[in-house]
Structure 1
Amino acid sequence: MNSAITDEAQEPVPEGKIALDQIPFGPFHFKVTMMTFGANFSDGYALGIIGSALPMLAVQWHVDGFWQGMLASSALIGLFFGSLILGRISDRIGRQRVYVLNFILIAAASLAQFWAPNVETIFVLRLLIGFGLGADYAVGPTLLSEFAPRKSRGLMLSSLTVLWTVGYVLANVIGAYVNVGPDTWRWLLASGFIPALFVLIVRIGSPESPGWLISRGRGEEAAAIAEKYLKTGNIFIPAAHVEEKSSYRELFGPALRKSTWFGILFYSCQVLPYFAIYTFVYTILEAMKVSDANAQNLLINIFLLAGGVAGLWAIARFPRKAFTFWTFVIMTVMLALLGLFAEASPWLMLIPFVVYSFVMSAASNITQVYPPELFPTHLRGSGVGLLNATSRIASAIGTFLLPLSLEKWGVSVSMYWLSAVLALGALVTWLWAPKTEGKRLV
């Protein structure tokens, strides 16, 4: 294969033609965004609900710290394999089939949790949920980026994380205030079936990515989709395309390895503290001697939502690199202060906690924007899948280690090492982050 053929080696758009990402934002762009961030809502809900259900399950079944960590990280482990495998498959067979079929698995495994007879079964079911979600972390932003107009791409992609946060926060609120008896945790876990089924239904009939079709030399099919769904009959079909199978090795070749390593490290450093802290937020608040953990957790979740919305504006306003670097710096300082104030008044401790929550939620929007912009079309699913896979393994490690760290060393030390992870993310961003805003993807 000619590995020199990438999206950067693009021919100019002839007069009278329009590039795929120059088509103005229209009704179908809105629809495909809705279909994709509906899945992110479902993803956030599925991953958030375990944090609420786990304390109840642990009491009823006398689950030890090891299995609590395994259950908390199970979906993240599944996400690793789902993103890695299904992201790669989407580069081979197309985005659309993976985009639809993964939610059959998610819906079925979510519902089956209601009848789980033991911890091991829940672990396996949540692995399957994570495997299906992994497809969406890889394929969802990839497909959306290949439909998105260049000027609207940042907003469309960053909106995915906002809806993820809405699902995550809603799961926390429902978990805190819904109580239907000793089996409440079963109802909570199985409730993930509802948004998953909705997403599955609305995605049926969605089209293939024209960008992927162009990258495979199937320009006529891409033009037909553009005419039917995007209402334009003069789409420009570039001559350059991939004729042979691409290789994972290209991601670490001279042309892409800097982008690949930046993506792996920045994404992993950002989400490791996020998942660890918010999965065990009640444990952290209890260790800080907070008397009304529900009230303070609700306040934290309000700041999570506000930060997600503020992040939409910030990504549209600031360069990707600057936004990513400075949010890392602020989060690093806030977790360090949280460690410093761990033995202080709970309300004093709450200040860095809510600032961290606000900035983290805003910063999380970039994790849907940067990855698809780092890779050429013929490797975009593989690259985005790899970044999501490695970030979820980092999240699983953090989620597994945090309860052990809290038990052995306490809150202060735990916050300090999580702060160090964020500091590494800031350093990697400063050294390696590329400029991708305004980049043509197809």
Structure 2
Amino acid sequence: MSDHQMSSHAVKGIDDTITQVEVPEGPVVKRTRQTSYLDVLVQGVALFSDGYNIQVIGYMLTVLAKLYPKDTTGDVKTRLSNSILIGDIFGMLIFGYCIDRFGRRLGVILTTLFLVLGIIIATASHGATIRGMYWMMVIGRGVAGVGAGGEYAVCTSQALECADGSERLRKKRGMLVAVSTNAAIIAGFVASSIVSIIVVKAYNGNPSDGIWRICFGIGIILPLTIFIFRMRLFDSTQYDKHAIQRKVPYKLALKYYWKPLIGACTAWFLYDVIIYPFNLLAPTLCTHQFLCSPRAFIGAFLMDRIGQKQTYVLGWAMAAVFGFIIGGAMFKLQHVFPLFVVLYGLMQTCLSIGPGDCNFLVASESFPTPLRGHFLGFAAAIGKTGAAVGTSALTPVVSAFETKMEGQRVLFLIGSAISVLGTLVVWFLIPGHPDALEDGDVRFREYLEANGYDTSHMGLKSGKHNEVFVTGPFN
């Protein structure tokens, strides 16, 4: 067969799905649809729905407390709030492992299954007693949390690898990933407040079971709507080339990546320690979220211009500066409340621009493709534990002093000190971002080979090294 005939045979039948063509006495040509902006941003839609489902319980607790005042105790509220948080942590760890061992596409299926199942259980909650109904709701929220937490690893990995799929996208990789992660989640928070207000208004402000069931149930729409589209996305070329599905070299990987792993985990932990209790200082949660939403886009804009690490450091450092100013001048600022609001807004903006946007990106691109889900899921889970620590340890600070103003002052000073620590962690432990994911993957493979690890089974090629990856012009 001539070269021209072989080429024609390989090209024939190309469509938007991945196909493999066996060419006699030649390489396997694997054609993939070229990734587009839509492929990256659709991951943001998934995380948008996660943000909605995570946050909506905050508004529904008020409705439930009016409906069932005797049964909606402090313990019940805590269980309902924490169930999805605990599910998040398990989902991050479980699916971070799964998407590396079994592929990104399987992660999409399973996370959507858990999320949808959990929402159905929570929406349909009932029981012989109100207490029984609440336990069903807790279980449903926990199951949904496993899916939502898993989406952190699945969506971030997919968004990053899709954004690295072409030179055109790679130049905007930081912005695309930031918009598809932090900005999307915050937008989901905003959506939960808007939907809650609309539904409550539809019931004329009267508490009703229909309010929380409708608001919970709406959370199922987006995951199912984009599921078919996400199923059309196959594992990235990077994963196909470098996946390790057996004999995972954990010891060698930890030896090589211990420094950025500690950096990513610590930075994410410190961010959640600060951001959760500080959110309580916002005039109203709804106002705070509307203010936060545009901030994430500022960080997304900066990362591709000054660099991910630089944006990370800038955000932490400026948050520390504004925090120290507020803490030091708190008693004077109480007489100039608009100035306090401006300074507080600037501090929150810096936190969103820096660690808020960079946590996802840095925790994914600092590690090689075959172990990206492992490290990203672990760092995200550590971050969520920071949320629990911050809420339980720092929130009581405000009420621990004689006046609320003194408590807020100390809280700002503590938050600023933590921001300084975050700045140092990023500066000394976080590496500069790679120009292309392939650069990091090649270095990791060379390191493994230099340490006696057999890399012949890496990738989804059944040991063949003559496979050619071709990207077709399908936007």
Secondary structure of residue in 1 paired with 2:158 = helix
For 1:320, the equivalent position in structure 2 comes to 308
2:184 is aligned with 1:163: yes
Secondary structure of residue in 2 paired with 1:143 = helix
Secondary structure of residue in 1 paired with 2:36 = helix
Q: CA deviation at 1:320?
A: 1.9
RMSD: 2.8
- Contiguous gaps of at least 5 residues in structure 1: 1-19, 217-241
Q: CA deviation at 1:262?
A: 0.5
Deviations 1:201-237 (A, max 9, x none): 3323321222112114xxxxxxxxxxxxxxxxxxxxx
Taking the aligned partners of 2:225 and 2:245, their CA distance within structure 1 comes to 37
Deviations 1:327-357 (A, max 9, x none): 1122234445555638825434322232233
The structure 2 residue matched to 1:246, chosen from 225, 245, 248, is 248
For 1:373, the equivalent position in structure 2 comes to 365
The structure 1 residue matched to 2:84, chosen from 45, 69, 75, is 75
Deviations 1:137-167 (A, max 9, x none): 1121212322323323212211212222211
2:172 is aligned with 1:152: yes
Whether contact under 8 Å (1:111, 1:191) holds in the other structure is no
Taking the aligned partners of 2:278 and 2:53, their CA distance within structure 1 comes to 16
The structure 1 residue matched to 2:382, chosen from 376, 385, 390, is 390
TM-score normalised over the length of structure 1: 0.77
Q: 1:131 to 1:315 in 2, by over 3 A?
A: same
For 2:424, the equivalent position in structure 1 comes to 427
For 1:207, the equivalent position in structure 2 comes to 234
Taking the aligned partners of 2:66 and 2:357, their CA distance within structure 1 comes to 35
For 2:340, the equivalent position in structure 1 comes to 349
2:136 is aligned with 1:121: yes
- What residue identity is the alignment partner of 1:165? I
The within-5 A match list for 1:83-102 is 83-102=92-111
Identity, % of aligned positions = 22
The structure 1 residue matched to 2:215, chosen from 176, 188, 193, is 188
The within-5 A match list for 1:267-282 is 267-278=268-279, 281=280
- What residue identity is the alignment partner of 2:291? F
Taking the aligned partners of 1:172 and 1:394, their CA distance within structure 2 comes to 24
Deviations 1:274-329 (A, max 9, x none): 23444xx4xx45xxxx6xx47xx42x333212212212211111122221112112
Taking the aligned partners of 2:253 and 2:75, their CA distance within structure 1 comes to 35
Q: 1:30 to 1:439 in 2, by over 3 A?
A: closer
For 1:48, the equivalent position in structure 2 comes to 55
Q: 1:61 to 1:419 in 2, by over 3 A?
A: farther
- What residue identity is the alignment partner of 2:45? G
The within-5 A match list for 1:194-233 is 194-216=221-243
- What residue identity is the alignment partner of 2:262? W
For 1:258, the equivalent position in structure 2 comes to 259
How many correspondences in the alignment?
380
Q: 1:317 to 1:169 in 2, by over 3 A?
A: same
Deviations 1:227-267 (A, max 9, x none): xxxxxxxxxxxxxxx584214444532x1100110010111
Whether contact under 8 Å (1:169, 1:301) holds in the other structure is yes
Taking the aligned partners of 1:78 and 1:303, their CA distance within structure 2 comes to 28
Q: 1:70 to 1:334 in 2, by over 3 A?
A: farther
- The higher-RCO structure (CA 8 Å, 6+ apart) is 1
For 1:105, the equivalent position in structure 2 comes to 114
| Worse-superposed segment, 320-329 or 404-413 | 404-413
Whether contact under 8 Å (1:275, 1:395) holds in the other structure is yes
Taking the aligned partners of 2:268 and 2:353, their CA distance within structure 1 comes to 14
Taking the aligned partners of 2:323 and 2:140, their CA distance within structure 1 comes to 33
| Runs of 4 or more consecutive aligned structure 1 residues displaced over 6 Å after TM superposition | none
TM-score normalised over the length of structure 2: 0.72
For 1:332, the equivalent position in structure 2 comes to 320
- What residue identity is the alignment partner of 1:40? L
Q: CA deviation at 1:178?
A: 4.0
Q: CA deviation at 1:52?
A: 2.2
For 1:139, the equivalent position in structure 2 comes to 154
Q: CA deviation at 1:437?
A: 4.3
Secondary structure of residue in 2 paired with 1:28 = coil
Taking the aligned partners of 1:426 and 1:65, their CA distance within structure 2 comes to 36
| Worse-superposed segment, 70-79 or 339-348 | 339-348
Secondary structure of residue in 2 paired with 1:375 = coil
The within-5 A match list for 1:288-307 is 293=284, 297-298=286-287, 300-307=288-295
Q: CA deviation at 1:175?
A: 3.2
**Greater C-alpha Rg:** 2
